[in-house]
């Protein structure tokens, strides 16, 4: 009896192995899966004094996370105080508050095994706290004290300035850092988007400057909270309301910015550095994230060079030719400004010209010919099928919603996202390729060793001026901001 | 109190104020008859599943001549199989064999002959190679595996090679886990290495990217000088010479030896049904035959017997590194060393799994950066690896105060001697215990991070070691700390590396 059963079991196993074994991915039939993204409305919470937030209860782990997103960033710093953003990034916590030394705050957070961080972006800044839920009350007290009452004491301020000045000395060490900075400087010209701090501007920053900037931008109506964790929403709301009850609002005044940018002469812009590869970016200004073409541009760029190994630039430059490890194309977005478009690659000096020519070929091809059905299917399916991934972490979902509201994007952005991706057609891809990629207007920036790059190799013998007039960019002394002799 | 997710907490309030938490992870285990272990962590919520597979193989399984092969092999695992990435396998295989024969001739001519070979002959063969490669293209479906994953919504798609393990990662919608089972079992069973020679070029470019990072060459030499006998002597990327000369045969031998189910663990974390995962694993991975047993690494690091010092100059920031040999992970001294690293260098992160860090409230930061203002940064880190360990101090001196790395070295030694005599304070030890507990809980919120910790731990001392390590930390006393400080922080067990920034011709104008 037992034996029969075993034999039957083995036969059953063989049947299941032998007859139902699929061979190819296309043979697989997946059960249907329906997913609806969370709706920001369900989490939106109004606090006292015009403070807003997105709150999600999540009792899966005994944790408490909260972030305050402040509408303040490096772009709003006047030219004679450049670097104030970095100094504030280093001292909002370490500089202490009216009633606490910074080191006491850090010691306490460390003792309870929490983390408290502050970072300043170009137009938004974020203070983030993460503690065990059993430490929520103490965490909240420290969080709001730092957010509302920073003191920027002299000793931590001097230390931060000395450390930032020392870091300035390294500004021309890394080829990738140089390339990113100089590429933007070329495309945006002299503009707050490209201003760099110097030793003198760092030295000129005082505690009073930091307090003034804090007073100007850190007030309830200019902040959106994001919180998640093991708490009761009503309880958290009451605690936050209590913490901010005396916090006064101000009138927000944000500087206005020119949106006129120079049109740099197309051609090669070379930065000399004695290394064994060329680090390359080629392109021009891009578009704003709020542009209705954004979705079509995403799909187009996925096919061109954004979709890693499924994209044309990676297939050609890396997989076919073995020229590089890292290559592709990207549209970078900046809130309120046109972003940048670039093809990028790092390759050994002798194949710099060749790699650039291959990327330019791909820029031209996606303008000239409609993309293939297969490429469209892969790109669109990727965006649709990976969509739910954006909502895996409750805290990052709350931050994403706070960010939507902060930057004035429609609150149904995620609700309508998949429909908008689905609506992109092959014709639309070709249309936006022609509208937003202009090979004839490209600047080609190279950080590398000129002689071997210019000599080229068998597949693409130099000189580099076959790609356009070669301009030489001299790096500035990062300490003074002046051109190096 | 019971958590709905992965964690069951039992809080034991002790007589003192100290709170000890017994943490249990709800991991379901299943072992296939071929030895492949499956770990499953259900995590209801967003309908996605993190699917990782780790192999017990890394750069420590290489030898001189094939350094960098574990990583190159990881790249080659994306080049298809007998089924994937090819339209007509028989024709492709025939061409591929001709390519390999030709490249074998080229390598013998180029690399075996002391004069570098006959250039004319080589050029002729390289031309033939180019033609064969061109011909083969008609049968290749480019990056097929990657495309299949992408169009099914895979995120976190990647692979990585370390000293000890290699992982292959995809996060899929929860209805598509079967795709990963099919693709991963297929490449365990049927890997086929086409486009090998162009991929070697890609990896050499990857090495060049590292080389162009200031300080890379110096650090590579520091590592090689510190680890002399164990295979930690070379980096995961390998030496350039080996990348140039490694052959297809080396690759196949390496694959057949290490890519067997009894040398791997597959992990699934997310919105899943464990029974369903086990059934699929039986169906797909179950078809892969078991391989021979694999012997662990033979060579441990011998005692150093004398102090080592290295000096270098270049365009990276001036720095001090002090390294001390310590035992491999799992040794009883590992926990006190980890606590000590955290006490000395914690607060700024960067130390990995509760093993130290830089900045914030660490003792060295307070003394050297804040009080004495001699350094811009300082960190301490205890790195227990599978077959060796290192306790490492890193510091950058204040340029504006004309501090030398040697000044920081003296300061760190003074602090070490103090700890050897007095140990650390009860508050410092308690802080590390609190931090390790909360960091562990926080690490559970990332499915990807959890899969990674479980996978790597499973391959060495079993996944439960991530919990027992935490328990070991709880039991560390000040006497343990004094003892390990006395035992390991001795000059004959150390390497001190001093690097001085010097702006040379690298930034000279053309």
Same-domain status, B483 and B415: yes
Same-domain status, A297 and A227: no
Same-domain status, B273 and B388: no
Per-residue pLDDT, A359: 98
Question: A226 versus B13: which is more confidently predicted?
Answer: A226
- Give the ranges where B17-61 is alpha helix by DSSP (H): none
CA distance linking residue A217 with residue B54, whole number of Å: 48
Domain that holds residue A291: 267-472
| Nearest CA-CA distance, residue A398 and chain B, Å | 15
**CA A394, B361, B316: angle at the middle one, nearest 5?**
90
Task: Using a pLDDT cut of 90, give the percent of chain A over it.
Answer: 94
Same-domain status, A207 and A352: no
Whether B293 is covered by a domain: the verdict is: no
Residue A279 in this model has a pLDDT that exceeds 90: yes
Same-domain status, A327 and A212: no
Same-domain status, B72 and B212: yes
Same-domain status, A395 and A450: yes
| Residues of chain A contacting B205 with CB distance shorter than 8 Å | 277, 322-325, 346-348
Contact B214 A378 (CB under 8 A): no
Rounded to an integer, the average pLDDT of A248-264 is 94
How crowded is residue A153: how many other Cβ atoms within 10 Å of its Cβ? 16
CA distance linking residue A259 with residue A253, whole number of Å: 18
Same-domain status, A287 and A422: yes
Q: Which of A227, A243, A259 is the last residue of a domain?
A: A243
Model confidence pLDDT, tens digit, residues A75-120: 999 999 999 999 999 999 999 999 999 999 999 999 999 999 999 9
CA distance linking residue A18 with residue A20, whole number of Å: 6
Whether B105 is covered by a domain: the verdict is: no
| Nearest CA-CA distance, residue B434 and chain A, Å | 5
Sign of CA dihedral A334, A337, A343, A349: negative
Instruction: Give the closest of B152, B197, B370 to A159, CB-based.
Output: B370
Same-domain status, A391 and A288: yes
Whether A114 is covered by a domain: the verdict is: yes
A161-165 — which CB contacts under 8 Å span 24+ positions? A161/A87, A161/A202, A161/A203, A161/A205, A162/B373, A162/B376, A162/B398, A162/B400, A163/A90, A163/B376, A163/B377, A164/A83, A164/A86, A164/A87, A164/A90, A164/A197, A164/A202, A165/A199, A165/A202, A165/A203, A165/A479, A165/B400
Per-residue pLDDT, B24: 65
Mean residue pLDDT of chain A comes to 94
Contact B439 A378 (CB under 8 A): no
Same-domain status, A274 and A413: yes
User: 3-state DSSP helix/strand/coil percent for chain A, to nearest 5?
Assistant: 50, 20, 30
CA distance linking residue A190 with residue A194, whole number of Å: 7
Per-residue pLDDT, B504: 55
- Let me know: does A221 contact A125? Beta carbons within 8 Å: no
Whether B251 is covered by a domain: the verdict is: yes
B73 close to A (CB below 8 A): no
Contact A170 B317 (CB under 8 A): yes
Whether A34 is covered by a domain: the verdict is: no
Same-domain status, B353 and B437: yes
Same-domain status, A211 and A344: no
Q: Which residue of B has its CA nearest to A351?
A: B205
Per-residue pLDDT, A483: 85
- Let me know: does A56 contact A398? Beta carbons within 8 Å: yes
Instruction: Give the closest of B155, B398, B444 to A61, CB-based.
Output: B444
Same-domain status, B227 and B342: no
Same-domain status, B265 and B353: no
Domain that holds residue B263: 29-86+140-287
What ipTM does this complex have? 0.91
Same-domain status, B260 and B332: no
Q: How many domains does chain A have?
A: 2
| Residues of chain B contacting A392 with CB distance shorter than 8 Å | 45-46, 48, 447
| Nearest CA-CA distance, residue B404 and chain A, Å | 14
Same-domain status, B221 and B333: no
Tens place of pLDDT per residue across chain B (510 aa): 333 333 333 332 222 222 334 556 889 999 999 999 999 999 999 999 999 999 999 999 999 999 999 999 999 999 999 999 999 999 999 999 999 999 999 999 999 999 999 999 999 999 999 999 999 999 999 999 999 999 999 999 999 999 999 999 999 999 999 999 999 999 999 999 999 999 999 999 999 999 999 999 999 999 999 999 999 999 999 999 999 999 999 999 999 999 999 999 999 999 999 999 999 999 999 999 999 999 999 999 999 999 999 999 998 999 999 999 999 999 999 999 999 999 998 643 333 333 444 446 689 999 999 999 999 999 999 999 999 999 999 999 999 999 999 999 999 999 999 999 999 999 999 999 999 999 899 988 999 999 999 999 999 999 999 999 999 999 999 999 999 999 999 999 999 999 999 865 454 333
Q: Which of B258, B287, B316 is the last residue of a domain?
A: B287
Same-domain status, A127 and A64: yes
Pick the range with the lowest mean pLDDT from A299-313, A377-391, B114-128, B357-371: B357-371
B276 close to A (CB below 8 A): no
| Residues of chain A contacting B360 with CB distance shorter than 8 Å | 106, 110
Same-domain status, A205 and A292: no
Same-domain status, B312 and B260: no
Whether A123 is covered by a domain: the verdict is: yes
CA dihedral A98, A103, A109, A111 (to 10 degrees): -140
B256 close to A (CB below 8 A): no
Whether B49 is covered by a domain: the verdict is: yes
Same-domain status, B188 and B315: no
pTM of the predicted model, to two decimals?
0.92
Whether A226 is covered by a domain: the verdict is: yes
Q: Which residue of A has its CA nearest to B372?
A: A159
| Residues of chain A contacting B317 with CB distance shorter than 8 Å | 166, 169-170, 173
| Residues of chain B contacting A387 with CB distance shorter than 8 Å | 153
How buried is B13 (Cβ within 10 angstroms: 0-12 exposed, 13-18 middle, 19+ buried)? exposed
Q: How many domains does chain B have?
A: 2
Give the CATH number of the domain where residue B486 resides: 3.30.830.10
Whether B4 is covered by a domain: the verdict is: no
Size of interface A-B (CB pairs under 8 A): 231
| Nearest CA-CA distance, residue B206 and chain A, Å | 5
Whether B270 is covered by a domain: the verdict is: yes
- Let me know: does A211 contact A152? Beta carbons within 8 Å: yes
Model confidence pLDDT, tens digit, residues A438-479: 999 999 999 999 999 999 999 999 899 999 999 999 999 999
Region of residue B24 (left: phi > 0; alpha: psi -120 to 50; beta: else): beta
Whether B498 is covered by a domain: the verdict is: yes
Give the CATH number of the domain where residue A136 resides: 3.30.830.10
Whether A257 is covered by a domain: the verdict is: no
Same-domain status, B270 and B312: no
Rounded to an integer, the average pLDDT of A249-260 is 93
Per-residue pLDDT, B345: 87
Per-residue pLDDT, B14: 27
Whether A349 is covered by a domain: the verdict is: yes
Task: Using a pLDDT cut of 70, give the percent of chain A over it.
Answer: 95
Contact B376 A162 (CB under 8 A): yes
CA distance linking residue B506 with residue B313, whole number of Å: 13
Same-domain status, A226 and A272: no
Whether A21 is covered by a domain: the verdict is: no
B151 close to A (CB below 8 A): yes
Same-domain status, B274 and B346: no
In angstroms, the Cα distances linking A65 to A114, A124, A246, A285, A393 are 10, 19, 23, 37, 11
Per-residue pLDDT, A222: 98
| Residues of chain B contacting A381 with CB distance shorter than 8 Å | 150-153
Whether B294 is covered by a domain: the verdict is: no
Per-residue pLDDT, A250: 94
Q: Which of A189, A208, A243 is the last residue of a domain?
A: A243
Per-residue pLDDT, B472: 94
Per-residue pLDDT, B25: 82
How buried is A111 (Cβ within 10 angstroms: 0-12 exposed, 13-18 middle, 19+ buried)? middle
Instruction: Give the closest of A61, A318, A321 to B5, CB-based.
Output: A61
| Nearest CA-CA distance, residue B196 and chain A, Å | 10
Q: Which residue of B has its CA nearest to A169?
A: B317
Give B377's contacts (C-beta < 8 A, 6+ positions apart): A163, B358, B359, B365, B369, B394, B395, B396
B385 close to A (CB below 8 A): no
| Residues of chain B contacting A175 with CB distance shorter than 8 Å | 212
């Amino acid at each position: 009896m037992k034996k029969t059963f075993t034999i039957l079991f083995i036969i059953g196993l063989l049947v299941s192995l032998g007859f139902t074994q699929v061979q190819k991915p296309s043979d697989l039939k997946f059960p249907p899966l329906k997913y609806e993204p969370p709706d920001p409305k369900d989490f939106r919470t109004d606090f006292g004094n015009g403070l807003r937030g997105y709150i999600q209860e999540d009792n899966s782990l005994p944790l408490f996370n909260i972030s305050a997103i402040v509408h303040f960033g490096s772009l709003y710093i006047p030219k004679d105080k450049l670097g104030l953003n970095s100094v504030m990034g280093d001292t909002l916590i370490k500089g202490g508050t009216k009633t606490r030394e910074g080191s006491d705050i850090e010691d306490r957070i460390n003792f309870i095994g929490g983390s408290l961080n502050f970072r300043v972006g170009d137009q938004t800044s974020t203070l983030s706290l993460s503690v065990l839920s059993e430490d929520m009350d103490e965490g909240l007290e420290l969080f709001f004290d730092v957010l509302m009452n920073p003191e920027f004491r002299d000793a931590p301020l001097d230390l931060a300035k000395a450390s930032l000045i020392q870091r300035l000395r390294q500004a021309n060490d890394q080829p990738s850092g140089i390339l990113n900075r100089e590429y933007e400087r070329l495309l945006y010209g002299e503009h707050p988007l490209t201003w760099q701090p110097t030793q003198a501007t760092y030295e000129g920053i005082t505690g009073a400057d930091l307090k003034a900037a804090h007073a100007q931008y850190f007030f309830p109506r200019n902040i959106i909270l994001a919180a998640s964790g093991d708490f009761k929403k009503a309880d958290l709301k009451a605690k936050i309301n209590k913490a901010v009850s005396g916090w006064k609002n101000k009138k927000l005044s944000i500087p206005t910015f020119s949106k006129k940018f120079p049109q740099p002469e197309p051609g090669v812009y070379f930065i000399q550095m004695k290394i064994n590869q060329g680090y390359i970016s080629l392109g021009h200004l891009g578009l704003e994230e709020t542009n209705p073409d954004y979705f079509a541009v995403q799909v187009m760029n996925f096919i061109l060079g954004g979709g890693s190994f499924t994209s044309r630039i990676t297939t050609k430059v890396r997989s076919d030719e073995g020229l590089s490890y890292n290559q592709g194309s990207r549209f970078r977005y900046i809130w309120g400004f046109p972003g940048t478009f670039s093809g990028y690659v790092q390759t050994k000096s002798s194949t710099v010209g060749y790699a650039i020519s291959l990327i330019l070929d791909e820029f031209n091809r996606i303008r000239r010919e409609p993309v293939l059905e297969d490429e469209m299917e892969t790109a669109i399916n990727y965006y649709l099928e990976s969509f739910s991934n954006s909502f895996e972490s409750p805290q990052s979902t709350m931050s994403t919603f706070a960010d939507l509201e902060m930057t004035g994007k429609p609150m149904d952005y995620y609700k309508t996202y998949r429909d908008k991706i689905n609506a992109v057609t092959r014709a639309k891809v070709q249309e936006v390729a022609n509208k937003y990629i202009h090979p004839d207007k490209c600047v080609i920036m190279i950080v590398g060793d000129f002689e071997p790059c210019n000599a080229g190799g068998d597949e693409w013998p130099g000189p580099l001026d076959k790609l356009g007039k070669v301009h030489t960019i001299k790096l500035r002394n990062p300490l003074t901001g002046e051109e190096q002799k | 109190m019971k958590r709905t997710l992965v964690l069951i907490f039992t809080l034991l309030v002790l007589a003192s104020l100290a709170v000890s938490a017994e943490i249990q992870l709800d991991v379901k285990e299943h072992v296939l008859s071929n030895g492949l272990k499956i770990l499953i962590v259900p995590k209801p919520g967003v309908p996605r599943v993190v699917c990782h597979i780790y192999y017990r193989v890394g750069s420590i399984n290489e030898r001189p001549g094939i350094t960098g092969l574990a990583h190159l092999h990881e790249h080659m695992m994306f080049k298809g199989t007998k089924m994937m990435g090819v339209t007509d396998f028989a024709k492709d295989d025939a061409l591929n064999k001709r390519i390999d024969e030709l490249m074998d001739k080229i390598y013998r001519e180029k690399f075996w002959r002391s004069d570098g070979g006959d250039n004319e002959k080589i050029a002729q063969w390289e031309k033939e190679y180019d033609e064969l490669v061109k011909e083969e293209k008609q049968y290749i479906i480019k990056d097929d595996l990657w495309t299949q994953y992408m169009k099914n919504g895979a995120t976190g798609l990647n692979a990585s090679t370390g000293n000890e393990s290699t992982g292959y990662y995809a996060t899929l919608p929860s209805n598509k886990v079967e795709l990963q089972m099919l693709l991963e079992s297929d490449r365990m069973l049927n890997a086929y290495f086409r486009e090998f020679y162009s991929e070697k070029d890609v990896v050499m470019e990857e090495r060049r990217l590292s080389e162009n990072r200031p300080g890379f060459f110096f650090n590579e030499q520091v590592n090689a000088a510190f680890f002399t006998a164990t295979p930690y002597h070379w980096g995961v990327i390998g030496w350039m010479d080996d990348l140039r000369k490694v052959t297809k045969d080396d690759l196949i031998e390496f694959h057949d030896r290490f890519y067997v189910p009894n040398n791997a663990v597959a992990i699934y974390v997310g919105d899943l049904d464990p029974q369903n995962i086990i059934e699929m694993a039986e169906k797909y991975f179950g078809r892969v035959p078991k391989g021979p047993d694999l012997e662990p690494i033979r060579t441990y690091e011998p005692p150093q017997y004398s102090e080592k010092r290295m000096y270098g100059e270049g365009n990276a920031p001036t720095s001090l590194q002090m390294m001390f040999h310590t035992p491999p992970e799992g040794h009883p001294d590992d926990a006190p060393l980890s606590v000590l690293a955290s006490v000395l260098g914690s607060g700024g992160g960067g130390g990995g799994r509760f093993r130290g860090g830089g900045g914030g409230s660490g003792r060295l930061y307070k003394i050297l950066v804040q009080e004495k203002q001699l350094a811009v940064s300082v960190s301490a880190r205890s790195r227990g690896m599978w077959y060796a360990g290192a306790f490492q101090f890193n510091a950058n001196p204040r340029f504006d105060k004309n501090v030398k790395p040697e000044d920081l070295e003296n300061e760190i030694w003074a602090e070490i001697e103090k700890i050897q005599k007095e140990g650390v304070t009860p508050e410092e030890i308690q802080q590390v215990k609190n931090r390790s507990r909360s960091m562990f809980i926080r690490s559970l919120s990332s499915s990807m991070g959890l899969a990674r910790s479980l996978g790597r731990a499973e391959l060495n001392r079993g996944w439960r070691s991530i919990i027992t390590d935490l328990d070991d930390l709880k039991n560390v006393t000040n006497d343990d700390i004094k003892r390990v400080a006395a035992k390991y922080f001795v000059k004959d067990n150390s390497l001190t590396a001093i690097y001085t920034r010097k702006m040379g011709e690298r930034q000279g104008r053309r």
